[in-house]
Amino acid sequence: MPFAIALLVLLVEFTPLHVLYTGPLLVATPALAAVTMGPRGTLAAAGVAVGVSVTTASYNGAWGSQQVYTNFLALFLVSVASFLTSRSARTRTENELNQVRRIATAAQEVVLRPVPDRLGSVRAASMYLAAETGAQIGGDLYDVVQTRYGVRMIVGDVRGKGLPAVRAAAIVLGAFREAVHYEDDLVEVVNRCGAALRRDAAVSGAGGADALLEGFVTALVAQVPDGPHIEVINRGHPPPLLLSGGSVRPLMPTVPLPPLGLEEFLAGPPVRAERYPFVPGDRLLLYSDGVIEARDQEKIFFDLAGAMVSMCDLTREAFLTGLHQALIHHTRNRLADDVAVVVVDRCEDEGNRSAGGPT
C-alpha cells in the first residue's frame, strides 16, 4: 500500500491532475508501512516518499515555497515516529514469540520426553518435527519405556491439528505410561489408551460418534520381551519397517484394526499381539504418516524404505539426522504434517533386559 500511494502521487504530479495537493498522501506512507512491514520496510517507504517528493518538487519548480519545506518536515517527523514505533512493536513481538517457544519446549519435554539410549536389550533414539511454523509439538506422539515385561513403545498420530491434537496426544501418552507398568498383556495396555481417549471426550462434553471420528488416534504399540522376537499391535497406523540382513520389510498386520477411540468398529476374534522375528543386529523403525506422505514438488512420496536401506550402516543418531535432511530436501522444507520417528536396534548383549519395573 505505501508504494502504491507513492506511484499514485507520481501519476498525479506528472499529469494535468498535478493541481491536486498530494503532500498528505506521501506523509502517510511511512505510517502505513510501520503497521505491517517492520522497521526496514518503514525506512524503505520513507525513502521512497522522500525521493518522490524531491522528484515532483523539481519537476514542478516548487523549490523555495513554504509548502515544500512543510511537507518535508512533516514527512521527517512521521518517518521517525513510524520507525521507532515499528521497531518497538517488532521487539515486543519477538519477545512474545520467544516466550511461546520456551513454553513449547517445556511442553515438549513433558509430553514427548527424550527416549533413553539404552533400555535392556535394545538401543533407541527418536525424532520429532512439527509441521506448524514456529511450533515444536503437534499431534504426533511417541514413547519408549522399559518395564518388567520388556521394552514397550508407542508411536501414534492424532487426527487433526492444533491444541486439541496436543491434548489427545497427552491423554494417550499418559494412559500408556501408566498401563505399561501394571498390565502384563499388551492388549490391555492398548485398551487403556483407547478408554482414556473416550473418557476425556465424554468428560469434555465432546462425546458421540462425530466427536470420536474427529479425534481418533492411529497408534502402533510394540513390545520387545525376552527372546528373539517383537510383539506388535497396530491400530490403524502405518506398519513399522524392519531392517534385517540388508533388506527392509513392513510388518503388516494380518487383521486390520480401527484406531484408538473407534473401538465400536472392532469385530471378529479377540485382539491379539502379532509376533515377528527381531534378532540382534536388526533395526526397527516406527514412524507417523507424516514421513511416508511427505511429497516433493512433483507430488512424489518420500521413499522411507529406500532411505532406511541407504543409511543402514549409520548409527541411530546419524540415521535420524540423515532422515531429517532427506525429508527437508525432498519437501523443500515444507512438511505438510507432523513427523514422529523412533528407531530401535536389537543389541548383541541382551543382559539386564528385564531390569526395572513399576515406578
The secondary structure of 26-81 as a DSSP string is HHHHHHHHHHHSHHHHHHHHHHHHHHHHHHHHHHHT-TT-HHHHHHHHHHHHHHHH
Bridge partners of 248, per DSSP, are 243
Beta-strand pair 122-129/140-147: unpaired
What is the predicted pLDDT for the residue at 200? 85
Query: Could you tell me the pTM of the whole model?
Result: 0.69
Residue position matching grid coordinates 492388549? 187
Q: Are 152 and 189 in contact (CB under 8 A)?
A: yes
What is the distance between the alpha carbons of residues 206 and 261, in angstroms, rounded to a whole number? 12
pLDDT along the chain (359 residues), means of 10: 66 59 65 75 75 68 62 74 79 75 62 84 89 61 93 90 79 94 95 91 62 74 92 95 94 92 81 93 94 90 94 94 94 84 82 40
Beta-strand pair 217-224/229-235: antiparallel
Residues 6+ apart with CB under 8 A from 21: none
What is the predicted pLDDT for the residue at 341? 94
Instruction: Phi first, then psi: give them for residue 229, nearest 5 degrees.
Output: -150, 170
What is the predicted pLDDT for the residue at 357? 39
3-state secondary structure of 179: helix
Residue 317 sits at the vertex; the CA angle it makes with 312 and 318, to the nearest 5 degrees, is 55
Nearest by Cα to 206 from 237, 178, 167: 167
What is the predicted pLDDT for the residue at 147? 94
Nearest-10 Cα torsion for 304, 294, 339, 203: -130
The alpha-helical segments, DSSP class H, found in 183-298 are: 186-203, 209-215, 289-292
What is the predicted pLDDT for the residue at 351? 45
Amino acid code (one letter) for 223: Q
114-346 sits in which CATH class? Answer: alpha beta
Give the helix/strand (H/E) hosting 171.
helix 162-182
